[in-house]
Amino acid sequence: MRNERLTERLYVALDFDFMDEALRMVDQLGDTLRSYKVGMQLFYKTGPVILERLHAEGCKVFLDLKFHDIPNTVAGAAKSATSLGVSMMNVHAAGGMEMMKRAKEASVAAAQATGAEPPLVIAVTQLTSTDQQTMNNQIGIPGTVEAAVIRYAKLAQAAGLDGVVASGHELPAIREACGEEFVTVIPGIRPKWAEANDQKRILTPADAMRAGAHRLVIGRPITHAADPRDAARRILEEMGEVLS
């Protein structure tokens, strides 16, 4: 996975209200980037047609709907999402072992039924917008964020999932606990020149690559930039410098 081309290791979050805006961004970025994340904001407005349009452009899609429900419902959602041809989808690790296991099994079965490559199914651990204080005092999870993330990551791995979404801060501990092959997808990425916005556990693209991230997810530093293509190029350059 680390041998993937740089452009395949950076997913741009298409957090837009309308399909036209999202497709304009894809057009603007051109061949600089071809991997996109579609989340709730856009998918709930457009439905699967946005995925068809991105696939028709030859882009890879991470469907970020963060399923969290009873195992039977999440298994059904994973089956439906797999039929949409996405290359990666996610569930909340807080849904527990059976929910995650059923999601992965349903996804593999749905892909096998059509002879398609099964998507990666990964688990969201602790959102990058939460810090220690919020986690302990509001959500009520005791201990450090890192300990909570590792607990979720080990549970996801035991459930047969392919990897996790976490912040770059926990990367070394995840690699130690779950091994090098367990996929790490890292949002909360902020180049030095970008604002943090609502993200709390942030890392620069270079630091995340140095810490061993498989894939980065970046939205606003690219999509809200005056020149998104230039922002994407600068980020890819920063990632590339670490690898060279």
Ligand X SMILES: O=c1ccn([C@@H]2O[C@H](COP(=O)(O)O)[C@@H](O)[C@H]2O)c(=O)[nH]1
- Interface ranges with ligand X (CB under 6 A): 13, 15, 39, 124, 127-128, 165, 187-188, 197, 199, 217-220
User: Least separation, in Å, of the C-beta of 8 and ligand X?
Assistant: 17
| HEC-encoded secondary structure of the chain | CCCCCHHHHEEEECCCCCHHHHHHHHHHHHHHCCEEEEEHHHHHHHCCHHHHHHHHCCCEEEEEEEECCCHHHHHHHHHHHHCCCCCEEEEEHHHCHHHHHHHHHHHHHHHHHHCCCCCEEEEECCCCCCCHHHHHHHHCCCCCHHHHHHHHHHHHHHCCCCEEECCHHHHHHHHHHHCCCCEEEECCECCCCCCCCCCCCCECHHHHHHCCCCEEEECHHHHCCCCHHHHHHHHHHHHHHHHC
User: Least separation, in Å, of the C-beta of 180 and ligand X?
Assistant: 21
Choose, from 31, 60, 66, 162, the residue flagged as catalytic.
66
Q: Which residue is nearest to ligand X (CB)?
A: 219
Q: Does residue 136 have a known ligand-binding role?
A: no
- Residue 110 or residue 170: which is nearer to ligand X going by CB? 170
- Residue 32 or residue 199: which is nearer to ligand X going by CB? 199
User: Least separation, in Å, of the C-beta of 67 and ligand X?
Assistant: 13
The verdict on whether 227 is a catalytic residue reads no
User: Least separation, in Å, of the C-beta of 220 and ligand X?
Assistant: 3
**CA quadruple 190, 60, 154, 15: dihedral positive or negative?**
positive
Choose, from 64, 79, 104, 162, the residue flagged as catalytic.
64
Choose, from 17, 20, 31, 69, the residue flagged as catalytic.
69
The verdict on whether 64 is a catalytic residue reads yes
Q: Does residue 90 have a known ligand-binding role?
A: no
Q: Does residue 154 have a known ligand-binding role?
A: no
- Residue 110 or residue 235: which is nearer to ligand X going by CB? 235
Q: Does residue 34 have a known ligand-binding role?
A: no
The verdict on whether 60 is a catalytic residue reads no
CA angle 6, 12, 13 (to 5 degrees): 155
Q: Does residue 46 have a known ligand-binding role?
A: no
- Residue 124 or residue 231: which is nearer to ligand X going by CB? 124
Q: Does residue 189 have a known ligand-binding role?
A: no
Contacts of 40 (CB under 8 A, 6+ apart): 64, 65, 66
User: Least separation, in Å, of the C-beta of 177 and ligand X?
Assistant: 18
- Residue 116 or residue 193: which is nearer to ligand X going by CB? 193
Catalytic residue annotation: 64, 66, 69
Binding residues: 15, 37, 64-73, 128, 190, 199, 219-220
